[in-house]
Amino acid sequence: MTEEYDLLEPDNVEGVGDEWEEIDVSDTAADQVQRQRDREFNEFRERLKNTEQFKVEQSVFDDATLAALYKLVQDGYVEAFGGPISSGKEANVYLALGGEASRGDGSSGDQSHDEVAVKVYRINASDFRDMREYLVGDPRFEELSGDKKRVVLAWTRKEFANLKRAQKAGVRVPDPIAVERNVLVMEFLGTDGDRAPTLDDAHLENPETAFEVVREYMRRLYDVGLVHGDLSEYNIVVHDGELCIIDLGQAVTVHHPNSGEFLTRDCANVAAFFNRQGMDVRGDELEEWIREHADPDK
């Protein structure tokens, strides 16, 4: 592994979207598909159920989630589903084979991805109330009503929007490819189906450079008005000699009432990690540096 952690060049710092960008949380095409329940869909469901890797996970996929996966296949973002990469508190992540639209000739931008990661948020996640806390106070979701399903759907769209905004700001994140209902498709960080290690697992020969990159990415996020909110060595992946920031579902704008607290916590986590790597960094100094070198209100 190279230890040079090149910084990504920001290519379009203009137009990263602002506080008032609209994020559509209305009924999606997948909901319509679900209502139609055509024969093809039932066949797809049977096929998926018979897929070896999915058998154990069946309870995760209610019919509407299956409909969303079906829509993503039909739209050419996913060709085939692979095994689970991770089962978290709110979401499961799977490896999948990208379809035509993920391989660069679709509307998802100009990057090509043979393998993709599919993150499926569970509608019945027990702590959707926590999710609500992160959504309320974010002006992008002012009109969000309280029910579980809508909260999770908004959350999924928020992660997609946050990934886009971070990417435009020059932060290395998984390329966001598509979002459908509670399912997010993004670039798979890894090689030949093996996921790239998180910073926690990776062996760091040069923590100083890694710290500088993480600090700069935190600054770039803050500069476009975002605070990650769950940043630590577990949500930074080392892939192809690059550090990639993942898991932006809970990221909030600087106008969220708790954004200051989240930034302080992110800085403390990052500082603690690099201190364990033998460096001498402090969370409060990191935060001060970020605040001094970024202008989220511009």
Ligand X SMILES: Nc1ncnc2c1ncn2[C@@H]1O[C@H](COP(=O)(O)OP(=O)(O)O)[C@@H](O)[C@H]1O
Binding-site ranges for ligand X (CB under 6 A): 85-86, 88, 90-91, 93, 117, 119, 174, 186-190, 195, 198, 234-235, 246-247
Decide if residue 180 touches Mg ion (CB under 5 A).
no
Closest to 295 measured CA to CA, from 236, 237, 254, 243: 254
Among ligand X, Mg ion, none, the one that 190 touches (CB under a kind-dependent 5 to 8 A) is ligand X
Annotated active-site residue in 138, 175, 223, 247: 247
> Would strands 91-98 and 78-87 be described as parallel, antiparallel, or unpaired?
antiparallel
Closest to 296 measured CA to CA, from 258, 256, 252, 254: 254
Q: Quote the tokens at residue 79.
A: 């060709």
Decide if residue 266 touches Mg ion (CB under 5 A).
no
Among Mg ion, ligand X, none, the one that 189 touches (CB under a kind-dependent 5 to 8 A) is ligand X
Q: Tell me if 95 sits within 8 A of 78, measured CB to CB.
A: no
Decide if residue 233 touches Mg ion (CB under 5 A).
no
Q: Tell me if 117 sits within 8 A of 96, measured CB to CB.
A: yes
Q: Is 247 a catalytic residue?
A: yes
Site string for Mg ion, 240-259 (x = CB under 5 A): -------x------------
Among Mg ion, ligand X, none, the one that 277 touches (CB under a kind-dependent 5 to 8 A) is none
User: Least separation, in Å, of the C-beta of 291 and ligand X?
Assistant: 26
Decide if residue 269 touches Mg ion (CB under 5 A).
no
Three-state SS across 232-256? CHHHEEEECCEEEECCCCCCEECCC
User: Least separation, in Å, of the C-beta of 121 and ligand X?
Assistant: 9
Among ligand X, Mg ion, none, the one that 195 touches (CB under a kind-dependent 5 to 8 A) is ligand X
CA distance 218 to 210: 12
Q: Tell me if 185 sits within 8 A of 116, measured CB to CB.
A: yes
E strands, the chain, are: 78-87, 91-98, 115-121, 176-180, 183-187, 190-191, 194-195, 226-227, 236-239, 242-245, 252-253
Which CB, 196 or 294, lies closer to ligand X? 196
Q: Is 147 a catalytic residue?
A: no
Annotated active-site residue in 31, 223, 230, 266: 230
Decide if residue 31 touches Mg ion (CB under 5 A).
no
Q: Which residues bind Mg ion (CB under 5 A)?
A: 235, 247
Active site residues: 230, 247
